[in-house]
Copies of this chain bind each other. A is one copy, B any other.
């Protein structure tokens, strides 16, 4: 079963998409054809959106789902005339919020001013993650919030970047190499910061698949090598009493939020 879905916003469209993806995930048996229409902030853009929705409705022979976060009522009204089934997020929630808070909503098209401090915190954290990726340097570990460790290709880099981008957290990462793993002990640079370490664990089968994408049929990607590295690193985590998480079945978002939760990290931005 197929169904078209439009995410429509006067801003980036990210809220409409994020909410939409969560809702649609509850209907796994339906395949959704997705369209995102951002910056629908004028009557002209709204009319273009309606035209597109109506075209798709005709093609599909059934009404597209519309999930919108448009603030302006008049523009929203234009979209409401399209041949679709509309889920209007602001209409649904803002009235009840207004009643509860006893305050009028701004009803302004979604041009948020940039929070300068949060922006700086976030960009600094991204640069920190890049500068401290892959064990490139260790001298900034004093100012790290967390240091992720794990074998090569267990997901450290994307997790650090997500922690920085989404939460402003300063995350470094350090890959344990064969030397570290053979000796089953932590390198000196890490020992000094043991309270900041957090380990990533991954199933050998998944690691083999990921490494094969990178270097097919190499020793590096062989099941034996992967198993051996993972056995060794798990010993280190246990012996050194380092918290760790098996990330095999997780998205980057989930890895990041689980780590915050397990490590008791404080976000730097909300």
Contact = CB atoms under 8 A, between A and B. Distances in A.
Interface of A: 1, 3, 11-15, 17-19, 21-30, 34, 36, 38-39, 63, 65, 69, 71, 85, 87, 89-90, 92-94, 96-98, 100-101, 103, 105-108, 110, 112-114, 119-120, 122-123, 126-127, 130, 133, 155, 157-158, 161-162, 165-166, 213, 249-254, 256-258, 261, 270
A120 B213 contact: yes
Contacts of A122: 158, 252
A270 B34 contact: yes
Nearest to A15: B22
A157 B126 CA distance: 8
Nearest to A38: B257
B19 A249 contact: no
Nearest to A23: B93
A69 B34 CA distance: 21
* Number of this chain's copies in the complex: 2
A18 B157 CA distance: 24
Nearest to A97: B23
Contacts of A89: 19, 22-23
A230 B40 CA distance: 30
The 7 A-B pairs of least Cβ separation, nearest first, read: A26-B105, A12-B257, A15-B22, A18-B18, A85-B100, A126-B158, A34-B270
A19 to B, nearest CB: 5
A23 B101 contact: no
Nearest to A256: B12
B101 A161 contact: no
B27 A101 contact: yes
B18 A14 contact: yes
Given A1-B101, A23-B97, 12 more contacts: A13-B257, A15-B19, A23-B93, A26-B71, A26-B90, A27-B106, A39-B257, A114-B249, A120-B213, A122-B158, A126-B161, A165-B165
